[in-house]
A and B are shown apart, each in its own frame.
Chain A
Amino acid sequence: MRTSFEALVLSILLGITLAISLTVGPLVTGQAPDVTAKYVAGNLVQDAQTAMKDVAVEYKTGLTAQQIVYPLSDPGSAEISYNVMHNGTHIAFYIKWKDETKDMPIGDVIDQFPDAVAIQFPVFKGELPYVCMGNTQNPVNIVMWKSNTGAEALVSASAYGRGQVQREALQMFESRTRPIHTAPPEDQIWYSDAYYDNGEWMVVLIRPLGSTSPLTPSLEPGSTTSIVFAVWDGAKDERGGLKKTSGWLTVELEQAAAPAEATTQTVTQTSTVTVTAPGKGGVPGWFVEFAVVIIVLLALAVVYLLARKG
């Protein structure tokens, strides 16, 4: 009898621990960055054709077909090569990937889809959002470039991909809102240029480091942020969830070596706004969650000991 009671208590507490572990998700840690956004003095290369020739793509990341949420992609993978650099006022992403067909539906075309690439950022500092486009408590900021319409900033905030059962298991009881919004005009701060040659895209995405909008995270030299890449192949009718994505990658912005000068003509907003996740005060999210796990484990030990005594 005592044995079965202990087993019951143990399984309940282990269940709670597991649920909490799943809920907290990945934490920002002090690990070495995956990518370093190098500081370069002067102008960032804005022209994609020039970038294809002159910008060395130092990093490679494998992308895998999105297989979590409806509609599921065909199994598959892709690889992007890229470089990230900043000049103290603006940050540039140079992204290159192979695509056998240049899919750029323009005009009265209703059955074709564009090639596209996107970079996802957390809106808040602290705990990283759910990799599949965030949730209402922890949204993401996305820049999506499409071959036919260029770059657009988006905000996604509802983990739409998780089914009701998954959401409840993860204590995500927030009401489902519109999963993705076009960001307001003040967040449309991205410059883009693209060039396709010999079965390969080069897309240049540049934005000011600073942001006046709470929906767009400010980036500062010396700080770290996280990104996720996604690409779509229009020839395969890829759109929405039919895509290939990376996991979260950490990007460290090198310190500026000298006082920054505005060197690109993208936008003029350069002021900085620091935003933290709502309701978490000054305590980092990961600390709270770590403490919860420890408390539960201690509770587990105490109950187990009491049960043995009884």
Chain B
Amino acid sequence: MVMVLDKCIGCHTCSLACKNVWTDREGQEYAWWNNVETRPGVGYPKTWENQDKYGGGWVLEDDKLRLRLEKDKHYKPPSLNDYYNPFDYDYEQLFTQEILDQQPSADPLDMYSREKIDIKWGPNWDDDLAGADVIAPHDPNWNGIDKQIYLNFKDVFMFYLPRICNHCLNMACAPACPRKAVYKRPEDGIVLIDQNSCRGYRFCGIACPYKKIYYNWKTGKSEKCIFCFPRVETGQPPACTLSCVGKIRYVGVVLYDETRVPEAAKAPEDQLVKAHRELILDPFDPQVIKEARDAGVPENFIKAAQESPVYYMFKKWELALPLHPEFRTLPMVFYVPPLNPVITVLDRNNKYSADYNSIIPAIDKLRIPIRYLANMFAAGNEEEVRKSLKRLLAIREFFRRIEVEGQSKAEAAAVLSEHGLTVNDADMMYRWLALGRNRWVIPTSKKELRVTLTRRGKGPGMGGRQRG
């Protein structure tokens, strides 16, 4: 999946769709398999990116990957205090209150005890930078930035960060489970927890650096985002994607070289994004197609891989980036970093307009510090972020030259070629990013795949390696 952060309006419709479909039940009240955070902020659970506290992900030592959890087994699973105390409202009060001058109100109730509570935190408490002066300094992504500058009113910035399970290629959750209950489906890469095998030990939840595994206190087992696999199998997008108001989510198949996953996960930090991209194969390469066929990948998956927005945005155009690649799990949800807000300046006529002449050189003067985005999406490698942002600006500049300045496509294409793009790329980007057409290309799945895809190697998937 790719999420284009500039388009996220923070409406939480995705979270509610997911909640209504999957977790609106006892034991999962606090669980938001899909959540939307405001950045800068501490997220959900609080400061989940701080692995010194939570113990998630892999650590590279002597060219070997070790679970951080294995190095120190005293990490604890997050508590409700780290997430939030789930609450409901006493709606009955709206009907039974005596008539007053002010509007009736409904007191919050603890969802478990049904007693009145004082709400002190929620899954999106830092929404729209609410209380940013208190909360935002605790965001773990300030490394290398004078955060005080960005907490001043005139310099403050914000964007939304929707999150689901990343269905990683090099999962930390699966090897952490002594019961082998966590597994990755070879046919589509979806990571699942076998509820018959899970014994509720919560090692997986500690090992997941994204804190996207939720213990169900009612069943005594852990649960997670299932990428709406019953929908995906029938060619439909996950509920979060379908319901997305901003049309920010893109779903597609990628073919990747499974045998190189461990090598990619061990790349130097500043090379992790590059190594991750190199795993993804060109679905038009005859050799790749042949090997995919030999491995039992059906034709509709190969065709879908050729039309996949994920392939184009992550691999071909290098617009999308993985969330915290330094955790070394090779996450398969990617983010197109935000340009927001668009730079405007007063022009000669004292009107606000885009400073298109300097728009590309001004990339380092964007409101959101490049360093902040690099800390979040590129293990600190600012060049990866710059490359993505420059291409996003180039496409805007290209269409501006045509629409505003009346240049021909051929004339305007100079700005594209400067950044390694073609007119065809620009047209495709326009259809996907601006118009939001064909945002998901999902082949229907066949149960037989589980049998035929036995050998390791190039497999299809929005993920894909099965351990053990």
Contact = CB atoms under 8 A, between A and B. Distances in A.
A71 B70 CA distance: 7
Interface residues of A, number: 24
B79 A107 contact: no
Nearest to A177: B180
Contact of B29 (A108, A149, A181): A108
B112 A111 contact: no
A70 B468 contact: no
Contacts of A181: 196-197
B29 A240 contact: no
A181 B29 CA distance: 27
Contact of B178 (A70, A176, A182, A237): A70
A25 B78 CA distance: 41
Nearest to B85: A108
B179 interface: yes
A110 B201 contact: no
Contact of A240 (B77, B179, B194): B179
B76 interface: yes
Contacts of A182: 196
Nearest to B214: A110
A160 B203 CA distance: 16
A235 to B, nearest CB: 12
B199 interface: yes
Contacts of A110: 30, 77-80, 83, 214-215, 217
B32 to A, nearest CB: 14
B235 interface: no
A162 interface: no
A242 interface: yes
Nearest to A70: B178
Contact of B112 (A71, A72, A107, A180): A107
Contacts of B79: 110-111
B268 interface: no
B220 interface: yes
A242 B77 contact: no
Nearest to B112: A108
A180 B177 CA distance: 12
B73 A160 contact: no
Contacts of A1: none
A69 interface: yes
Given A72-B73, A179-B180, A240-B201, A107 B217 contact: yes
Question: Majority SS of interface residues in chain B?
Answer: loop
B180 A108 contact: no
Interface string A87-110: 000000000000000000101111
B217 A242 contact: no
Contact of A179 (B29, B83, B178, B202): B178
Nearest to B81: A111
B288 to A, nearest CB: 31
B179 A108 contact: no
Interface in B172-230: 178-181, 194, 196-197, 199-203, 214-215, 217, 220
Interface string A230-263: 0000000101111000000000000000000000
A178 interface: yes
Question: Majority SS of interface residues in chain A?
Answer: loop
Contacts of B69: 71
A176 B181 CA distance: 12
Contact of A108 (B199, B201, B217): B217
Contacts of A241: 178
B57 to A, nearest CB: 16
Interface in B1-38: 29-30
B203 A71 contact: yes
Which of B73, B80, B215 has most chain A Cβ within 10 Å? B73
B78 A178 contact: no
Nearest to A181: B196
A24 B428 CA distance: 65
A161 B201 CA distance: 16
A160 B77 CA distance: 23
A69 B178 contact: yes
Given A71-B70, A71-B178, A178-B196, A108 B203 contact: no
Contacts of A239: 199-202
Contacts of B29: 108
Which of A105, A108, A110 has most chain B Cβ within 10 Å? A110
Contacts of B194: 178
Interface in B52-82: 69-70, 73-74, 76-80
Contacts of B70: 70-71
B344 to A, nearest CB: 46
B59 to A, nearest CB: 16
A180 B179 CA distance: 7
A240 B215 CA distance: 15
Contact of B220 (A107, A149, A240): A149
Interface in B444-468: 468
A178 B197 contact: yes
A204 B460 CA distance: 52
B76 A160 contact: no
Contact of B73 (A71, A109, A161, A176): A71
Interface string B334-374: 00000000000000000000000000000000000000000
Per CB-CB distance, the 3 closest pairs between chain A and chain B, nearest first, are A111-B79, A108-B112, A240-B201
8 contacts: A71-B178, A72-B73, A110-B77, A111-B78, A111-B79, A179-B179, A179-B180, A240-B199
Interface of A: 69-72, 105, 107-111, 149, 160-161, 176, 178-182, 237, 239-242
Interface of B: 29-30, 69-70, 73-74, 76-80, 83, 86, 111-112, 178-181, 194, 196-197, 199-203, 214-215, 217, 220, 468
Given A71-B69, A176-B468, 10 more contacts: A108-B86, A110-B77, A149-B220, A160-B178, A176-B180, A179-B179, A180-B199, A239-B200, A240-B203, A242-B73
